[in-house]
């Protein structure tokens, strides 16, 4: 047993080192500036399709999830395309390395879109998670952006407390100062670098969302886009991806429970093994 535990620990350590190397290599390709013509227009003229992605897990099972991709029209925010797929999540959860656990399934969803409806390819992706607001400046929104080449924006519901950021009394006071929808304040690292923005995305919401650059988009444009996509606190592309993935899981579990179960072997048969 001790040998097995040592072997598993060695494999986990090797995996972590490989992830660190991959993350560092991919990080070098991140572009934190506007790169698309539509981004230079104050009203985002030319932007027609905004994607949202999400992974929802079956309650009590962190290895079974539904990967969801939706594409919405812009600025109307009507769903043009959806893809939901049950996936087996085998990579372990390690803080700071969420992308290695979830991004492969999101990339596959985008590949299916390219095959089925290439004309509906999103021009930008909103990701439920962080971009450069991350332990090593390379969150899931950066990872997905670099792998797909798409502009990506990280939108988190909770503050990732890294590099001097803390959910302390000062932070809570800053949140209270966000009076209207669209109000923001910068999230500053200990060195004074802006890692992202806290945004009051919806006038009736007392909690902000945390926006950070993923890839091929400036923070200013990212915040403006996220705000323009909000009918509620969470931007509509991510909200729809979440709603549809949870509904897909519900139907999946209903189908599983309704399907005939294999007959259990008799006790006599069991005793033979």
pLDDT at 105: 97
Instruction: Return the exposure string of 153-171: e unless at least 16 CB atoms fall within 10 Å of the residue's CB, then b.
Output: bbbbeebbebbebeeeeeb
Those residues whose C-beta lies under 8 Å from the C-beta of residue 30, and which sit 6 or more positions away, are: 132, 138, 142, 145, 146, 213, 215
For 124-166, write each residue's pLDDT tens digit.
999 999 999 999 999 999 999 999 999 999 999 999 999 999 9
- CATH 3.30.2170.10 at 2-254, yes or no: yes
Q: What Å distances lie between residue 128 and 25, 83, 100, 238, CA to CA?
A: 23, 16, 15, 6
Domain residue spans of the chain: 2-254
pLDDT at 256 over 90: no
Q: What average pLDDT does range 24-48 have in this prediction?
A: 97
Q: Residue 235: which of 67, 51, 68, 56 has the closest Cα?
A: 51
Q: Residue 253: which of 114, 81, 65 has the closest Cα?
A: 65
Q: What angle do CA 66, 205, 128 make, to 5 degrees?
A: 25
Those residues whose C-beta lies under 8 Å from the C-beta of residue 43, and which sit 6 or more positions away, are: none
Q: What Å distances lie between residue 177 and 172, 184, 185, 200, CA to CA?
A: 9, 9, 9, 10
């Amino acid at each position: 047993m001790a040998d097995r535990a040592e072997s598993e620990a060695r494999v986990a350590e090797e995996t972590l080192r490989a992830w660190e190397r991959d993350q560092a290599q991919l990080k070098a390709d991140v572009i934190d500036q506007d790169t698309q013509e539509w981004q230079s227009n104050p009203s985002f003229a030319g932007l027609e399709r905004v994607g949202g992605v999400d992974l929802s897990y079956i309650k009590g099972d962190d290895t079974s999830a539904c990967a969801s991709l939706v594409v919405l029209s812009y600025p109307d925010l009507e769903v043009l395309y959806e893809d939901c797929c049950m996936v087996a999540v085998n990579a372990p959860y390690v803080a700071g390395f969420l992308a290695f656990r979830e991004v492969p399934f999101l990339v596959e969803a985008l590949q299916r879109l390219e095959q089925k409806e290439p004309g509906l390819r999103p021009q930008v992706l909103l990701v439920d998670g962080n971009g450069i607001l991350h332990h090593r400046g390379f969150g899931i929104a950066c990872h997905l952006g670099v792998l797909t080449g798409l502009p990506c924006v990280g939108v988190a519901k909770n503050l990732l407390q890294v590099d001097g950021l803390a959910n302390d009394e000062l932070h809570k006071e800053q949140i209270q100062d966000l009076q209207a929808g669209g109000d923001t304040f910068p999230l500053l690292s200990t060195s004074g670098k802006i890692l992202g923005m806290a945004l009051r995305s919806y006038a009736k919401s007392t909690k902000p969302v945390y926006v950070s650059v993923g890839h091929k988009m400036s923070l200013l444009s990212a915040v403006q886009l996220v705000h323009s996509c909000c009918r509620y606190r969470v931007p509509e592309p991510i909200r729809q991806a979440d709603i549809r993935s949870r509904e897909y899981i519900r139907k999946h579990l209903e189908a599983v429970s309704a399907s005939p179960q294999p007959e259990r072997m008799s006790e006599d048969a069991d005793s033979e093994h």
